């Protein structure tokens, strides 16, 4: 596996791959890789000639400085994991390499068509501008045929699909299912910040969501929403930030089950100081 830290060296490699008609698959990450990421990478390796992975903790998508500082980083361990599953190129630039001074100091503007006004977008102003800024830049550098994203970040996936349409990228966006611990806790780099006890408590999030699916035909959407929030908040150490039941494409919050055929419940819960997200498909 090649480890590349400069845009110029990456461009040289990509030019050679494209000239020799290789199909490039791409997995953008912020590192601290866990099995969820590795599932994306394995799929990318199996569906393309060459798999490129980026590890870059993107400062422009953090609206909270403290969150950026404590975000787990371990590029050496990441490189070993990636080499073991067949990644061909690891691109791991510094923020100074990735962005010009001007890019770092100007707010990137993108028309999200309202997708950023709900859920994570409401709670983390500017977050999705930063995500689109870095992913569009990475897409232009890597020029992949396919790019792989986890469905855990449901809103991010919807926004990336919109970006690809609006910016005319000829890239297939492949959404991959959430990978969970045996306890049901969705794998996340942030889980590394949980204590052992918190990790057990956090498993309750998926347990409550999974159970709620059974009540779909018996309760109104609002009753079910409140029941989920109450059950999670009744658990010592957990506090729901929001639970939104939305249309899977527009991310519009719904009032009743007949409003859409594509319904997903998206949740953010604080477990101690750690902010965890998860989701469940109802329809």
Cβ partners under 8 Å of residue 50, min gap 6: 17, 22, 23, 24, 25, 88, 89
**Least distance to ligand PAF, CB of residue 49, Å:** 22
CB 276: neighbour CB atoms within 10 A?
A: 23
- Residue whose structure tokens are 């052992």: 196
Tell me: does residue 188 bind ligand PAF (CB under 6 A): no
* CA dist., res. 277 & res. 57, Å (int): 18
**Least distance to ligand PAF, CB of residue 82, Å:** 14
Both structure tokens of 231: 């059950």
Contact track, ligand PAF, 144-173, x by CB under 6 A: ---------x--x-----------------
| Run of H or E residues at 37 | helix 35-47
Cβ closer to ligand PAF: 140 or 239? Answer: 140
Say what angle helices 196-212 and 221-233 make with each other, to 10 degrees: 160
The window from 7-15, 24-32, 193-201, 226-234 that contacts ligand PAF (CB under 6 A) reads 24-32
**Least distance to ligand PAF, CB of residue 46, Å:** 21
Asked if residue 234 lies in contact with residue 226, where contact means CB atoms within 8 angstroms, the answer is: no
Cβ closer to ligand PAF: 32 or 203? Answer: 32
Active-site residue list: 37
Of 108-137, which residues contact ligand PAF (CB under 6 A)? 131, 134-135
Cβ closer to ligand PAF: 156 or 279? Answer: 156
Tell me: does residue 53 bind ligand PAF (CB under 6 A): no
Of 56-95, which residues contact ligand PAF (CB under 6 A)? 58, 61
The phi and psi torsions of 239 (rounded to 5 degrees) equal -145, 120
Asked if residue 235 lies in contact with residue 257, where contact means CB atoms within 8 angstroms, the answer is: no
Tell me: does residue 40 bind ligand PAF (CB under 6 A): no
Tell me: does residue 240 bind ligand PAF (CB under 6 A): no
CB 177: neighbour CB atoms within 10 A?
A: 11
Say what angle helices 154-166 and 127-142 make with each other, to 10 degrees: 60
Tell me: does residue 29 bind ligand PAF (CB under 6 A): yes
**Least distance to ligand PAF, CB of residue 61, Å:** 6
| Binder among 10, 24, 28, 187 for ligand PAF (CB under 6 A) | 28
Both structure tokens of 2: 């090649």
Contacting residues toward ligand PAF, per CB under 6 A:
28-30, 58, 61, 131, 134-135, 153, 156
């Amino acid at each position: 596996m090649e480890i590349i830290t400069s845009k110029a060296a990456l461009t040289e490699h990509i030019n050679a791959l494209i000239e020799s008609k290789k199909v490039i698959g791409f997995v953008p990450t912020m590192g601290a890789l866990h099995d969820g990421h590795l599932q994306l990478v394995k799929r990318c390796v199996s569906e393309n000639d060459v798999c490129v992975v980026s590890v870059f903790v993107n400062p422009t998508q953090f609206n909270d400085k403290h969150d950026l500082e404590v975000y787990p980083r371990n590029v050496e361990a990441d490189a070993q994991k990636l080499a073991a599953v067949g990644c061909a190129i690891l691109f791991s630039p510094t923020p100074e390499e990735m962005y010009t001074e001007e890019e770092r100091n100007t707010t990137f503007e993108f028309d999200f068509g309202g997708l950023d006004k709900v859920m994570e977008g409401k709670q983390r102003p500017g977050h999705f501008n930063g995500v689109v800024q870095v992913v569009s830049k990475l897409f232009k550098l890597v020029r992949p045929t396919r790019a792989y994203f986890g469905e855990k970040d449901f809103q991010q996936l919807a926004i990336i699909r919109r970006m690809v349409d609006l910016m005319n990228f000829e890239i297939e966006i492949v959404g991959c299912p959430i990978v969970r611990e045996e306890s049901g806790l969705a794998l996340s780099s942030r889980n590394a910040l949980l204590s052992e006890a918190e990790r057990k408590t956090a498993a309750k999030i998926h347990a409550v969501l999974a159970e709620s699916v059974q009540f779909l035909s018996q309760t109104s959407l609002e009753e079910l929403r409140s029941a989920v929030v109450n059950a999670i908040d009744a658990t010592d150490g957990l506090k729901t930030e929001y639970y939104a039941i939305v249309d899977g494409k527009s991310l519009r919050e719904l009032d009743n089950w007949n409003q859409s055929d594509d319904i997903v419940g998206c949740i953010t819960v604080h477990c101690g100081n750690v902010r965890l997200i998860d989701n469940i498909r109802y329809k």
